Amino acid sequence: MSDDTTPKPSSQRTATAERNTKETSISVTVDLDGVGRTDCSTGLPFFDHMLDQIGRHGGMDLTLHAEGDVEIDAHHTVEDSGIILGEALRRALGDKRGVRRFSSIRVPLDEAVVEAVLDLSGRPYLHYEIDPPGEKILGDPPFDPQLMEEFWRAFVMSSGVTLHLTLVRGRNTHHIIEASVKAAARALRDAVRVEGTEMPSTKGTLSGSGPEPGTGTGTAT
């Protein structure tokens, strides 16, 4: 007889979503209770590497395939990937009953350290204080690391997550960006963990009211 008393999800926490525009065509599948298997292909090798980090360190199975106008710019593919991944996360979480909700962590990568603080609040908010001091272009084809801010902003707006990412220290651009992604993924992994059956909010819901125009804040829960 097993003595494992860890609460289990009441149902499969999986979701599939698609986004098709004149600029991109993207499909994503997530399993929040997976084992970190990933299959990510966007035409941007460095970005694929970052998506793999989200799945692996987020403890989720993640498949994301994207075709976009990368010959023009990577912006559309990166931003739309954030939109559709956030939508899939929101669907997979359901009403969030029983989840831990809050999480924070500092993650190092050699000389770089990044802090992530996350709340599955239902209210989208991003504080992004990541400014790599070194080379701004990574990968082949080139990837502008500034686009990761656009990715996370799209992600929080679509998922209803509050996320603070802050660079504590660092010099190498690759290390800083990768540490920030790993930190966000680890924080997400902890926050979505099922701890019980109650709704982790005194209001009785984590659906959120969305940010008030110009404030980035919504109704407290």
pLDDT tens readout for residues 192-202: 998 876 645 44
Q: Tell me the whole-structure pTM to 2 decimals.
A: 0.86
Q: How far apart are CA 8 and CA 175, in angstroms?
A: 35
Report the pLDDT averaged over residues 154-182.
96
Task: Supply the angle between the helices 45-58 and 75-93 in degrees, to the nearest 10.
Answer: 20
pLDDT tens for 50-73 read 999 999 999 999 999 999 998 888
Which domains can be identified in the chain, with CATH numbers?
Answer: 14-191 (3.30.230.40)
Question: Would you state the pLDDT for residue 72?
Answer: 86
Cα distance between residue 199 and residue 67, in whole Å: 38
pLDDT value of residue 205: 52
Task: Name the nearest CA neighbour of 44 among 141, 146, 185, 182.
Answer: 141
Least confidently predicted of 13-27, 84-98, 124-138: 124-138
**pLDDT grade for 167, boundaries at 50, 70 and 90:** very high
**3-state class (DSSP) for residue 25:** strand
pLDDT at residue 210 greater than cutoff 50: no
Which amino acid, one-letter code, is at 60? M
pLDDT tens for each residue of 177-186: 999 999 999 9
Is residue 120 within 8 Å of 205, Cβ to Cβ?
Answer: no
Question: What average pLDDT does the chain have?
Answer: 86
Model confidence band, residue 10 (pLDDT cutoffs 50, 70, 90): very low
3-state secondary structure of 208: coil
Q: Cβ distance 121 to 203 under 8 Å?
A: no
For 133, other C-beta atoms within 10 Å of its C-beta total: 11
pLDDT of 4: 44
Percent of the chain clearing pLDDT 70 (strictly above): 83
Residue 89, pLDDT > 60, answer yes
